[in-house]
Structure 1
Amino acid sequence: MSASDCPLTKMPDVLRAALECADDGIVIVDDARRITYFNAGAERIWKLAPADVLGGDAAILTLKCLQADPVVDFRDEISLIRRDGSRIKATIALSSTTIDGTVNHIIFARDVTAEAERRVRIGLLNAVSDQTNRAVIIADVEHNIRYVNSAFTALFGYTSEEAEGRPAAELIAGCHTNRRAIAKLVKRLMAGGRRGEVETLVYDKSGEEIWVCARLDAFRDNKGRLRHIFALVEDITESRQLRSLQQLIMSALADEVPITEIADRLCRRVEEIAPDVVCSLLHVDAAGLVHPLGGPSLPEDYSSALDGIAIGPDVGSCGTAAFYGEPVLAEDLDTDPRWQPYKAMPLATGLRACWSTPVKAKDGRVIATFAFYYRESRAPSNWHRRIVDACVDLAAFAIERKEARAEIARLAYHDILTGLPNRAQLRHLITTAIDACPTGSHVALAFLDVDHFKDVNDTLGHAAGDELLIQLAQRLREQIGPEDMLGRLGGDEFVILLPHRNAESAEQVATRITEALAAPLRLGSKLMPMSASIGISLYPDHATDIDTLMQQADAAMYMAKQAGRSTHCMFNAEMNGLTEQRLAMIAALRRAIAEGALSLFYQPQIRSCDGAVHGVEALARWHDAVLGDVSPAKFIPLAEECGLIEQIGLWSVREACRQMAAWRRAGLNIPSVSVNLSPINFRNVTLAARLQDVLTEHDLPPDALMLEITEGTFMQDGAAALETMHAIRALGIGLSVDDFGTGYSSLSRLAHLPIRELKIDRSFMRDIEKDAGALAIATAVVRVGQGLRLTVVAEGVETEGQRKMLAELGCDVVQGYVYAPALAPVAFERWLIEHCAEQARAMLGQLEVKPAVAVKRSA
């Protein structure tokens, strides 16, 4: 077929030229399926020359739409396979027309391979965009949204149809959105500047606040012209804003910031992330009175007016929330009946609503309220509720920690048993009294020691001894004046500070005390006679410095004991001979150590879970041929004063290990022995090596030895002591913190110490069954131990009720009179055999009961 046969030969030249210049491929096929026209565009698409196709069969085009019979109109995008095997994407449009009575099929073809690939890439980008949890926004240069991903819809609630075409600011910005920062960043991008990010509040479709971090960048064409602005929006409500509150509180607590400053910082930070609220934190004391802790945006006179108000069922939002222990919302202060007596001040400052939430301690007590005030009548948003959920926990943690530290500080300066000032506080009080003493006046100092106190402990137990000391303190308080001060040094020793008292006046006080103690005390069902020996020294007549004054009062007290007890003595120069007696006692102690006259008694430690022996504590005892039984409360401080304490500690370790080895050879199964060491022992860098030598000598494994240390060990000379402690733990020897809870150490520091065990001080045991405070402290120590995976041992357990309560708390081990006092080795062996027999009988009894139960069930 020639070109003259083509229908287009009858068309004007202009039309033919236009078809030849068209980008699309144009092919004409007659009714016999022969190609009659093939333009330049078709050459490019099929990669065929006109000479190769004109007049030829249309099958060469590989178009299935031409194979139908009859041929029908067709329009679609297809995958076109060319004669050389290559493949392209093409849109094909086929239509049929009749020219001069002849049917012709006109095919329009366009190569859309690049466009199809671009669509695939866009589809992939959309799929990736929809997979991210960050919202994607693409806007044009007029700031109208052109694209959002599915994360945008999930975060803000708008579908892509609702968002596209609308200005971004109209959609998600609100009254507290930082429009200035966003506009500044957009302006910088439009001027060709670098990308950046901004943190701000935005709002979802329902009007709820969302804190986001928006990272903005620009899309430009090949000529560098700005075409679109891209925003990657991340919800930072949880990850940054709420965590910033936690970081703020934790860092403030770590820096020992006062609780009022912590509350102030918390409120200020909350008001930054929730600009439409005014924040307040009130403390609720044990008496149910509120005290402002933080409220920097509240008027000062309003906060002051709240101080001391008692909580109740109709005391505003905060007082009511604290009273019921539930959140309270007052959407309109002017009409809310609970606010009528209190509404004037907040209304005058433009505050219209208040939402208060109680802050509770772990035991359920309401210890504070956290409140949001609003300048309009409204309820809290979801964002506000999330803030409060975080803040009430943080506030509870901060307040409880500060209360605990205050209690620890109080314990550091007050005796736990009697509540009196302890040795550290007494020194401060005496120094203050001496500094304030005017010329010509005096300060008297009286040392009081209970006569035969050891007999009470030995015969009636430590609980009776503690009760005696408590009643004694009460009687002493009744006999001194309002300016006088009473304190307890420790054990059965008390100090009475008598400002503005001369010798005669001080002796009158001592006489009254002696007479008041003449009446016996009632300890349970027993009447216990009581007396005390009192020594008095006088400032400035006897000494002008506190240490000498205390030594002289102590010397006078010993003189009163030698005078027959139940009396008092005023210091005089002749009493300096008492120093010689103390030197004689020191010499006797040195001989006792050298000659092996000291001995160790052993008190069992019993596991709460099954009653098995956990270990024993070795306790030093001294019986002197002249002095008789000398209490450890006497000779241990004396040994510390004269530098013998380190020798006693090492002797105790050697003797305890010797006894453990002997018991093990005899077949007595005692897991470990605990030995008390002084902080001075831990200053010796060779301690670990010496301990290893002792264990090797007696062929004992390291875990057979537990060393008990006080908190003072790692508070004084901390670095050196800690190095020694690590060396000891590296050997496998256990370390136990003795008397835990009576010191003033940091819990965060405790977590990094190489210890294996905590011992609850016996002073907490006495009232654990009836005193919520003692129970709370014991519970706290057990929880600390559990949290740090330490064994917790309670010492001084004397009743079955105490033992059961400790077992319920999860205390691992108990030690005390409820099982046995400290016993000599032979006596302890008898006790151990009886205890093991009792355990066996109990186990046998359980085995005998089980079959009977089984029979009953089967019946």
Structure 2
Amino acid sequence: MSRLGGARRDRKKRLGHHRSASLDRFPPGPTMSASDCLVTETPQLLLAALERADDGVVIVDDAQRIIHFNTAAERIWKLSRTEVLGRDAAVLTLKCLQADAVTDFRDEISLMRRDGSRIKVAITLSSATIDGAVHRIVFARDVTAEAERRARIALLHAVSDQTNRVVIITDTEQNIVYVNSAFTSLFGYTSEEAEGRRAGELIAGRHTDRKTVAKLVKRLMHGDRRGEAEVLAYDKDGEEIWVCARIDALRDKKGRVKHIFALLEDITETKQLRSLQQLIMSALADEVPIAEIADRLCRRVEEIAPDVVCSLLHVDAAGLIHPLGGPSLPEDYCRALDGVAIGPNVGSCGTAAYYGEPVLAEDLDTDPRWQPYKAMPLGIGLRACWSTPVKAKDGRVIATFAFYYREPRAPSNWHRRIVDACVNLGAFAIERKEARAEIARLAYHDILTGLPNRAQLRHLISAAIDACPTGSHVALAFLDVDHFKDVNDTLGHAAGDELLIQLAQRLREQIGPEDILGRLGGDEFVVLLPHRDAEGAERVATGITEALAAPLRLGSRQMQMSASIGISLYPDHATDIDTLMQQADAAMYMAKQAGRSTHRLFSAEMNGLTEQRLALIAALRRAIAEGELTLSYQPQIRSCDGAIHGLEALARWHDAELGDVSPAKFIPLAEECGLIEQIGLWSVREACRQMASWRRAGLSIPCVSVNLSPINFRNVTLAARLADILAEYGLPPDALMLEITEGAFMQDSVAALETMNAIRELGVGLSVDDFGTGYSSLSRLAHLPIRELKIDRSFMRDIETDAGALAIATAVVRVGQGLGMTVVAEGVETEAQRKLLADLGCDVVQGFLYAPALPPVAFERWLIEHCAEQARAMLGRLDVAPADRDVVKRSA
């Protein structure tokens, strides 16, 4: 544009010179046409020059008349000269030609032509004085195409500056000729600072892969298509930036390279750091060990940050350091770090782990925290170290992530960004490792006691058997806590759990370092005793029994504890794990039958007993499912008049193969295998059904008592179930009495107490069975919803001769009387016992003196006979005539 302006100025000067000279020589005549005027006043040579000019030339005199309009002007305005010469200049629609306009003007304007089209025109206006009059000369050039090209270029510049990708254009010598605003934003150089400099000198650095870029440019110069490369570049401040460079050539029409075009994308975040995330996630998905994950992570970091040596250390729960990853560190250096305790002055990593904050040592040689440890890193050329703690979600420091440098320095911003990413990734990987380790531990260890569980015990027993030398033994002790069910039922499961924890601790104290203690589940434990024969195993069992003799403290209570232990030997008793454990289990049941709190060594005879027990459990389950259990009823007689007080319903089982099975045998078995609650509810339903049937038949029986397990009373829905059963058979609540042992209510079982209160509110009676045999608390008894006390049958045998038995019976009667409760004596077999109890004031007696427990039909016959006998006795007391007696008998 400047060169064009200079040419125009020269042209104007020449035109003005020729114009003034010609006009002086050719003064105008009196009257001439416009064309004659032009010919007369302008020399032919000048006219020819103006006609051939590329620019439109218009001359306007001082009267605003157009006196010259060349061919180029005709093309621009699309007006012929005959239409404009001699006319007012306003026909050209140029504001600069208005009478009061400026005399000098230069600009590009939009010109509306006669045909309605619009073009862009560069206008230059000059003035010249001719014969004392001012003439104005207009040079006009059509610049529409040039303006459009400039607009396109400006648009391209705007688009280039709007993109976040860097645009660099160089000549064939790689000197920069253009950069966009994204270049300035990313690298910090202005376009003025960049243009004219070689691109490689401006943004390449120490670790830039120059060879790859040079190969791409060389291939482009030889006609190859564009190429792409990921390279490490550096900004104005020397900070690292990873870019993806797409390089292409701009060629002329002949295919010759005129410029090199490079499009750079910052991939620091999108690719380089995400590649770390992808690496960790894929490794975790593939179940790669944590040490290999750490190694891969460190190697990848060293690829994207070539000036660092990377290290990842694990910090265990004891505060000890263990190398996880450090592929560029010598093995002896890593070994030296293993087991070092963290502390306030333990290099960079130990200090960072101790304080939970990043630690930078810019010069290991002078940093006081490195003085005891600096010799080895300095010996391998490491001069600085920056360590960052890796923290778990709960705030624990679980690792450190460190960068070593080969010269004294601080980390760059790029290094800090890497560490920010790696700390989170490292924490995720290590926590995942810890979680998987915990899952594995839970899979093979008991949650409550931390002991090996059943699955792990099998592995341990198998390993012990495999390692057992010829002539040696492996002993297996199977331990079951005595009466543990009572603890859970009376004190609650929390107390039961605490008992098991304390038991496990005592057992650990009784076994040797090579012995293994495990928990099978519930209250069953196993002690694996390698290299122990029968004698050695029994010594361990005896020691355990003695250690358990001391009471445990559960909260504020002292609790007695014991266990039954069964022992089997490999290879004497069995050579496989399953048989060995079955035999130890059988021996343990023999210990229980021997009175508990002892041990038994397996013998061949025990196999048959174990098989019998398993068969009995299976038969009991079948009997319950198929309705083979029945109830028998034992009458309870009032002492005052011999009338029926009620009945006690007692479960009976007759098996087609086993015959009659004693309740003393199948009730404990039901408790052991979890069937007792089911039997209790069935007993309530069956007793209520029978009572309803008798009442419909006209038999007046006041109440039926049913024994329930303490487990039943831990069920909060028991009262609702009882209400439903009573409603189903149309019985009033006082027709049902539930018998419960002392242990079910004398302990702090909130659920049991709430259930008993709900039952009492329902109107169903509660009777304490076997009162006096446990650890009764009279103060507690006074506040419980109890309606009846039962004196245990064990006191009846010697009540006539044993002063102690008589004293207890007397005390129970007095307690019942004082609390307004009915007292029932069980096991009464003689008239002397009945009379003694009646004299004591005992309200009700039951036992063989009157009748054993009878099936329903037999009880009905007994009841008829008992009523007839009562009637005869009454007649005898009243001395009724024989004829009347027959009437009374028939009525009875």
TM-score normalised over the length of structure 2: 0.66
The 1:825/1:149 distance shift into structure 2, 3 A limit, reads farther
> Could you tell me which of 542, 545, 553 is aligned with 2:576?
545
Instruction: Describe the SS at the equivalent of 2:514.
Output: coil
**Alignment match, 1:181:** 212
The aligned runs of 1:642-721 (5 Å cut-off) are none
| Counterpart-to-counterpart distance in 1, 2:320 and 2:94 | 91
Q: For the structure 1 residues 162 and 4, does the alpha-carbon distance in structure 2 shift closer, same or farther, using more than 3 Å as the test? A: farther
Distance 1:41 1:597, change over 3 A: farther
Deviation at 1:92, TM superposition (A): 0.3
- The structural deviation recorded for 1:95 is 0.8
**8 A contact 1:443–1:498 mirrored in 2:** yes
Aligned to 1:319: 350
Quick one: which amino acid aligns to residue 584 of structure 1?
L
The reply on whether 1:580 has 2:619 as its aligned counterpart is no
SS at match of 1:96: strand
Tell me the equivalent position of 1:613: none
Match in the other structure for 1:361: 392
1:189-268 alignment to 2 at 5 Å? 189-268=220-299
CA distance in 2, matches of 1:460, 1:506: 33
Instruction: Give the match's secondary structure for 2:138.
Output: strand
1:491 is displaced (CA, Å) by 0.9
Give the superposition deviation at 1:425: 0.9
Q: 1:429: how far off?
A: 1.0
Q: How does 1:358-507 map to 2 (within 5 A)?
A: 358-507=389-538
The verdict on how the C-alpha distance between 1:210 and 1:624 changes in structure 2, with shifts beyond 3 A counting, is: farther
Cα distance change on mapping 1:825 and 1:818 into 2, 3 Å: closer
Amino acid at match of 2:54: D
Aligned to 2:890: none
How many Å apart are 1:462 and its aligned residue? Answer: 2.2
Instruction: Render the CA deviation track for 1:22-54: whole Å, top value 9, x for unaligned.
Output: 322222233333333333322321223334334
Letter in 2 for 1:351: L
Cα 1:339/1:71, change in 2 over 3 Å: closer
1:508 maps to what in 2? 539
TM-score (norm 1): 0.69
Instruction: Please point out which of 590, 609, 625 is paired with 1:593.
Output: 625
1:134 to 162, 165, 174: 165
Taking a change above 3 Å as real, the CA distance of residues 68 and 275 of structure 1, as seen in their structure-2 partners, is: farther
Query: Which consecutive unaligned segments of at least 5 residues does structure 1 have?
Result: 599-622, 640-658, 668-816, 832-859
Cα pair 2:103 2:136 within 8 Å, conserved: no
> Residues 555 and 579 of structure 1 are in contact (CA less than 8 Å); yes or no, is this contact kept in structure 2?
no
1:82 is aligned to 113
Range moving further from structure 2, 222-231 or 59-68: 222-231
Asked if the contact 1:3/1:9 (under 8 Å) is kept, the reply is: no
One-letter amino acid of the structure 2 residue matched with residue 372 of structure 1 = F
Question: One-letter code of the match for 1:537?
Answer: S
Deviations 1:775-824 (A, max 9, x none): xxxxxxxxxxxxxxxxxxxxxxxxxxxxxxxxxxxxxxxxxx99747997
Query: Matches of 1:828 and 1:242 in 2, distance apart?
Result: 69
Asked if 1:169 is matched to 2:223, the reply is no
Q: Which residues of 2 match residues 447-846 of structure 1 at below 5 A?
A: 447-577=478-608, 578-595=610-627, 626-628=665-667, 634-635=673-674, 820=751
Task: Find the partner of 2:122 among 91, 95, 109.
Answer: 91
Corresponding letter in the other structure for 2:612: E
Partner Cα distance (1:235, 1:540) in 2: 72
Deviation at 1:371, TM superposition (A): 0.9
Residues 465 and 69 (structure 1), Cα distance of their counterparts in 2 relative to 1, 3 Å cut: closer
Q: Greater shift after overlay, 33-42 or 290-299?
A: 33-42
Amino acid at match of 2:564: S
1:595 partner letter: G
Change (3 A) 1:145 1:624: farther
For residue 97 of structure 1, give the secondary structure of its aligned residue in structure 2.
Answer: strand
Equivalent residue, structure 2, for 1:647: none
Distance 1:264 1:11 in 2: 94
The 3-state SS of whatever aligns with 1:333 is coil
Kindly tell me: are residues 90 and 344 of structure 1, through their superposed partners in 2, closer, same or farther at Cα, counting changes over 3 Å?
same
Post-superposition shift, 1:267? 1.0
Output the CA distance in 1 between the equivalents of 2:363 and 2:44.
Answer: 86
Change (3 A) 1:325 1:629: same
Does the CA contact (< 8 Å) of 1:491 and 1:633 recur in 2? Answer: no
Partner of 1:121: 152
**d(CA) in 2 for partners of 1:331, 1:660:** 72
* 1:747 aligned residue: none
Partner amino acid, structure 1, of 2:619: A
Tell me the CA shift for residue 451 of structure 1.
Answer: 0.7
Query: Alignment partner of 2:192: what SS?
Result: helix
Q: Which residue of 1 aligns with 2:368?
A: 337
1:112 to 143, 147, 153: 143
Task: Label 1:16 to 1:340 Cα distance change in 2 as closer, same or farther (>3 A).
Answer: farther
**Structure 1 residues 59 and 571 mapped into 2: Cα distance closer, same or farther (>3 Å)?**
same
Tell me which amino acid in the other structure corresponds to 1:415.
D
Offset at 1:576? Answer: 1.8
- Structure 2 counterparts to residues 275-354 of structure 1, below 5 A: 275-354=306-385
Query: Which secondary structure state, in structure 2, belongs to the residue aligned with residue 628 of structure 1?
Result: helix
Shift of 1:391: 1.2
SS in 2 for 1:627: helix
Q: CA deviation at 1:280?
A: 0.9
SS in structure 1 at match of 2:574: coil
Distance 1:409 1:301 in 2: 32
Aligned AA for 1:296? P
TM superposition shift of 1:527: 2.4
Residues 141-156 of structure 1 mapped to structure 2, 5 A cutoff: 141-156=172-187
Residue 733 of structure 1 corresponds to which residue in structure 2? none
The answer to whether the Cα contact below 8 Å between 2:567 and 2:584 also exists between their aligned partners in 1 is yes
User: How far off its partner does 1:434 sit?
Assistant: 1.4
Aligned sequence identity (%): 77
Q: Deviation of residue 547 (structure 1)? A: 1.0
How far off is 1:70 after superposition?
6.6
Q: Distance in 2 between matches of 1:255 and 1:70?
A: 84
More displaced, 29-38 or 285-294? Answer: 29-38
Larger Rg: 2
CA shift, 1:431, in A, is: 0.9
Q: Aligned residue pairs: how many?
A: 637
Give the distance between the partners of 2:759 and 2:62, measured in 1 at CA: 121
Task: Give distance in 2, aligned partners of 1:24 and 1:424.
Answer: 102
Match of 2:874 in 1: none
Distance 2:203 2:133 in 1: 64
> Is residue 31 of structure 1 aligned with residue 70 of structure 2?
no
- Secondary structure at the aligned position of 1:357 is classed as strand
Deviation at 1:829, TM superposition (A): 11
Counterpart Cα distance in 2 of 1:529 and 1:307: 48
Task: Tell me if the contact between 2:617 and 2:673 (Cα under 8 Å) persists in the aligned partners.
Answer: no
Equivalent-residue separation in structure 1 for 2:102 and 2:372 (angstroms): 93
- Corresponding letter in the other structure for 1:585: I
Structure 2: 5+ residue stretches without partners = 1-32, 631-661, 679-715, 725-747, 763-892
Q: Which amino acid aligns with 2:617?
A: M
